Structure 1
Amino acid sequence: MNSAISTAKPAAAPGRQFVANLLPSVVVFLVALPLCMGIAIASGAPPVTGLITGIVGGIIVGSIAGSPLMVSGPAAGLAVLVFDLIRDHGLVALGPVVALAGLLQLIAGIGRLGVWFRMVSPAVVSGMLAGIGILIVASQSHVMLDAKPLSTGLQNFAALPGRLWAAVKHGDGSLAGLLGLGTIAIMYAWEKLKPAKLKLVPGALLAVVAVTATAQFGQLDVERIDVPHDLLAAIKPVDGSALALLLDPTLLIAAVVFAFIASAETLLSAAAVDRMHDGPRTKYDRELGAQGVGNLICGALGALPMTGVIVRSAANVQAGATTRASTILHGTWMLGFVMLLPWLLRMTPIAGLAGVLIFTGVKMVNPSQIKEFAAYGRGSLLVFLATALVIVATDLLTGVLAGMALSILRLALRAAMLHVNLRQLDKPNQWELRLEGSATFLSVPRLAKALDAVPEGATLHLDVDRLRFIDHACLVLLKDWQRTAPATNRRMVVDPSAIESRAESAGRKSVTQGLS
């Protein structure tokens, strides 16, 4: 009797799993805590809404996720959408929209649609993140000066020189600005110079602690975050009147956009996490459903939407996490910290969190991606740049749709590309026209130019062995040339059956009638 030999390592005992994932969970908690609050502020929402999402993403989604080592929580990628939603419809609209987005994700997961979200071009997703990163830098530059950001990215960029001049000349927000710059400087220095033994200490936490201590001991007059004394009392569940807001078509569209972008970002992040470790692979439909459950709960609690987040997930893997216990524990630590030590969070200067987000936004832009996409061809680079620039100039939805439309157009043009090669053969007055690719109406000018170049008195041999497809427009062109060729003592040699098999209506001999 044959038996398979397994090379898999035996599962560790629950106690060992807990110990092995204890340190990674603490590392992720320390990375996630300032980001949850900072992303909420960037979204125009109370910091507690980001903390609730981080807790739900850790404890609940972490327990059922299809990607055991990925960490879910509020993401910078949705901050722009949330900011626009709250600006236009108020904070009361956030819960219903997030809950409906979660329901759509759950239905998509049950319907096994996870793989379809992965079909979004990486150039579009990277362009989306780059555009969002630029918008975050623009808006948080104002927040870092204890000022309110404006409605659009272009307005924020236009108003920034005046804000900076006011800070330098009149001192408006100058102390906050120095704390924000200090945060960025500490994070940058720590990333470049941190000792190997302290590589797991998050630079964001170190920077926020340093500027918080500076603000406290120096008694600096800067704005600080507002965290409620009682987390449970701060939760505002969605009621019937709030759900009635979904009768507004613009909010229905917003929910669909939230669901699509959150799903695409999550599943692409999951694929990236899979490349970082040798453990269990992601079950994409299960992950999509788990994200739906998480967003349903976050929506019901009036919190921020969540996605799988690559920064926290990478920290989890690099810290040595082996199971989902690390993700669950990080949410537990966050819950305990918010419940027991809210006074400590209230010491944190908003400018420090803005500095963390500016640093994060710059990394999201990642100029090295330009070289990476250029290596795949000018088309990929064009999609990446167009998506990012349209997002900055208009809004997130328009930018993503523009990027997807450009990707589809590029694909269509490549699929319709025809290589035309006209050459003279060794025999006198014998020429060959080789067609390779797809002959569509877009190829008519190039094909007509090649046919016109055939000299008088020549016999033209049509080689279609590498032709994948020919449409009606090109067939008509070939028929007309063959019909009029005898007037100039020219003729075409072609196999009608070869053309027929590649024609738009393959199998119907009538389409090639006239070719001989």
Structure 2
Amino acid sequence: MTRLLTSETRGKSGAPPTFGADLGASLVVFLVAVPLCVGVAVASGVPAELGIVTGIVGGLLVGLMPGSTMQVSGPAAGLTVLVASAVEQHGLRALGVIVLGAGVLQIVLGISRLGTWFRAISPSVVQGMLAGIGLVLILGQIFPVGGLEQPESTLAKFAGIPDLIGAVVTTPEGISGLVLAVLALLIMSFWKKAPEKVRLVPGALVAVVVTSALAALLVLPVQKVEVGSLLAALNPPDAAGWGSVFDLAVLGSIVTFALIASAESLFSAAAVDRMHDGPKTQYNKELVAQGAGNTICGLLGALPMTAVIVRSATNVQAGAKTKLSRVLHGFWLLLFVVLLPGVLSFIPTAVLAALLIQAGWKLLELRQVAVLVRENRSEAFVLILTAGMIVATDLLIGTLAGLAVAIVKTAIEVSRLSVKAEDGDEQVRVEMGGTATFLRLPRLLDHLDQLPTGKHVHLDLTMVRHLDRACHQAVEHWAAQRRRSDGTVEVALPARVG
């Protein structure tokens, strides 16, 4: 009976019943991954082949590891700003060391069972981080549309906008790039309204094929992607790269890469888990898997990886049932680049820029921002501050600033102190409750200083849940001054004083 059931379950061909669904989904995800791997690499300022290497590792290695079932890993648009900055500051040779170090740190975090803690980060900070990345991504990618080099700093990007406008209006390359980019964006936008069966073919792929064919047929004067041999493009760390690991700036980049890549992967996991009914993500194991992938990418000198929400959502929507689909997508990437590397050289860089502009626009999530502004202005302030600081400075400073403000905001909201005073003929009774921390110290002292003079004061703090050292010392100091001046004071402290 057992043999019969197994045979019927697997089907006549001997393949598992989910194989067909996973095979189809893997092809769809592969078609989405090709232009995005190349586009992220180009936007990061590294050879296009390194983005494909990361996609292959994300499929063949991370795809096999435990953690998540439906997530697909590869180079992420959200890390382009960070990678470009690291390459600019430390050189391409140091990229492998940074990515490898970040991978090792992710493995340590996962083994230490700290993966679930990433869910404790304020959603407004995360949304602000993604919005800031989206803004920087859009601001940077509008220049390749016009055939211009992307300026290095945010100030230079704003300053270069007049030259960009002149290029897309007057130069053949700029006009052609603008037409192709707009056409690609229109195709991707209207493709969402196509019949469901038609939408199984990704809109990004259709946009790339149509615009690339148009550019080739009309012989448009636009820059195109240059893709060579994967083996020749590998960038393993050399002696100088390994030596840079003792540089504090490089160490800072390692920590930043690890934290942001981990956060993006685990936030993606939470979103993807809501899209399917299969096994849910095991966060610590997923963090180890991401770390293993980044360790290998670092040894190869490739781009860092994260779990990517676009490819992961495509995987679910295409009908994937098991992790086989994401493994096969990595195999198709490898096969494509080995057998048909010249195909990528037909893709205009302006079209890849359009793909990333759309990705940046999605990261903004303007509707959610508008809802947050209406419903919770303090959270909206944290979001806008984080995004603005990322645009004005960089990803690390902006995110840390957002986290600091979110922590202070939460501390103020949690630290609620109630004060109730009863003024009698000979005695004033003051009852306090809630949490008395240094953040409420000005309010506490204002209430005490306003008490009438010449009367006995009974200060009851027994209902205070937490009295920190600053408030405790302030109360004792006030009571001592009161006793020296004109009255007596009786203080009843809570059982525990922090």
Question: TM-score under structure 2 normalisation?
Answer: 0.89
Is the contact made by 1:31 and 1:205 (CA closer than 8 Å) also made in structure 2? yes
Alignment of 1:20-419 (within 5 A): 20-171=21-172, 173-191=174-192, 193-228=193-228, 230-374=229-373, 377-419=376-418
Q: From the superposition, tell whether residues 455 and 113 of structure 1 become closer, same or farther in structure 2 (CA, over 3 Å).
A: closer
User: Which secondary structure state, in structure 1, belongs to the residue aligned with residue 418 of structure 2?
Assistant: strand
Partner of 1:514: none
Distance 2:420 2:182 in 1: 60
User: Which secondary structure state, in structure 1, belongs to the residue aligned with residue 16 of structure 2?
Assistant: helix
Distance 2:307 2:35 in 1: 17
Distance 2:383 2:284 in 1: 27
Partner of 2:495: 501
User: Which secondary structure state, in structure 2, belongs to the residue aligned with residue 237 of structure 1?
Assistant: coil
Structure 1 range deviating more: 434-443 or 182-191: 434-443
From 444, 458, 463, the counterpart of 1:447: 444
Distance 1:178 1:70 in 2: 34
Q: Aligned-pair distance for 1:413?
A: 2.6
Q: Aligned-pair distance for 1:411?
A: 2.8
Q: Aligned-pair distance for 1:123?
A: 1.8
| 5+ residue gaps, structure 1 | 1-10, 505-516
Write the letter of the residue equivalent to 2:253: A
Write the letter of the residue equivalent to 2:210: A
Write the letter of the residue equivalent to 2:259: F
User: Which secondary structure state, in structure 2, belongs to the residue aligned with residue 436 of structure 1?
Assistant: strand
Write the letter of the residue equivalent to 1:137: I
Distance 1:98 1:83 in 2: 13
Partner of 1:435: 432
* Aligned-pair identity (%): 46
**Residues matched between the structures, number:** 484
Distance 1:443 1:255 in 2: 38
Distance 2:276 2:45 in 1: 36
Q: Aligned-pair distance for 1:484?
A: 7.2
Partner of 1:8: none
User: Which secondary structure state, in structure 2, belongs to the residue aligned with residue 501 of structure 1?
Assistant: coil
Distance 2:19 2:157 in 1: 46
Q: From the superposition, tell whether residues 114 and 375 of structure 1 become closer, same or farther in structure 2 (CA, over 3 Å).
A: farther
Distance 1:12 1:260 in 2: 43
Distance 2:344 2:64 in 1: 27
Question: TM-score under structure 1 normalisation?
Answer: 0.86
| 5+ residue gaps, structure 2 | 1-7
Structure 1 range deviating more: 462-471 or 300-309: 462-471
Q: From the superposition, tell whether residues 448 and 93 of structure 1 become closer, same or farther in structure 2 (CA, over 3 Å).
A: closer
Q: Deviations over 1:63-87 (max 9, x none)?
A: 0040111110000111111111222
Is the contact made by 1:71 and 1:312 (CA closer than 8 Å) also made in structure 2? yes
Write the letter of the residue equivalent to 1:412: A
Is the contact made by 2:420 and 2:432 (CA closer than 8 Å) also made in structure 1? yes
Distance 1:420 1:377 in 2: 27
Q: From the superposition, tell whether residues 503 and 92 of structure 1 become closer, same or farther in structure 2 (CA, over 3 Å).
A: closer
Distance 1:301 1:247 in 2: 20
Distance 1:91 1:104 in 2: 21
Distance 1:375 1:289 in 2: 39
Q: From the superposition, tell whether residues 468 and 226 of structure 1 become closer, same or farther in structure 2 (CA, over 3 Å).
A: same
Q: Aligned-pair distance for 1:142?
A: 0.2
Q: Deviations over 1:241-267 (max 9, x none)?
A: 532332433222212211111111111
Write the letter of the residue equivalent to 1:140: Q
Is the contact made by 2:418 and 2:434 (CA closer than 8 Å) also made in structure 1? yes
Q: Deviations over 1:103-129 (max 9, x none)?
A: 221222222222233332222222111
Q: From the superposition, tell whether residues 320 and 448 of structure 1 become closer, same or farther in structure 2 (CA, over 3 Å).
A: same
Partner of 2:3: none
Q: Aligned-pair distance for 1:453?
A: 4.6
Write the letter of the residue equivalent to 1:446: R
Partner of 1:507: none
Distance 2:128 2:112 in 1: 28
Alignment of 1:469-488 (within 5 A): 469-470=466-467, 471-476=471-476, 479-480=479-480, 483=483
Distance 1:274 1:484 in 2: 65
Is the contact made by 1:127 and 1:388 (CA closer than 8 Å) also made in structure 2? yes
Distance 1:445 1:96 in 2: 49
User: Which secondary structure state, in structure 1, belongs to the residue aligned with residue 434 of structure 2?
Assistant: strand
Q: From the superposition, tell whether residues 162 and 466 of structure 1 become closer, same or farther in structure 2 (CA, over 3 Å).
A: farther
Q: Aligned-pair distance for 1:170?
A: 4.2
Q: Deviations over 1:323-378 (max 9, x none)?
A: 11111111111111111111211111111010010011011111123234446733
Is the contact made by 1:183 and 1:208 (CA closer than 8 Å) also made in structure 2? yes
Q: Aligned-pair distance for 1:30?
A: 1.6
Is the contact made by 1:17 and 1:325 (CA closer than 8 Å) also made in structure 2? no
Q: From the superposition, tell whether residues 203 and 485 of structure 1 become closer, same or farther in structure 2 (CA, over 3 Å).
A: farther
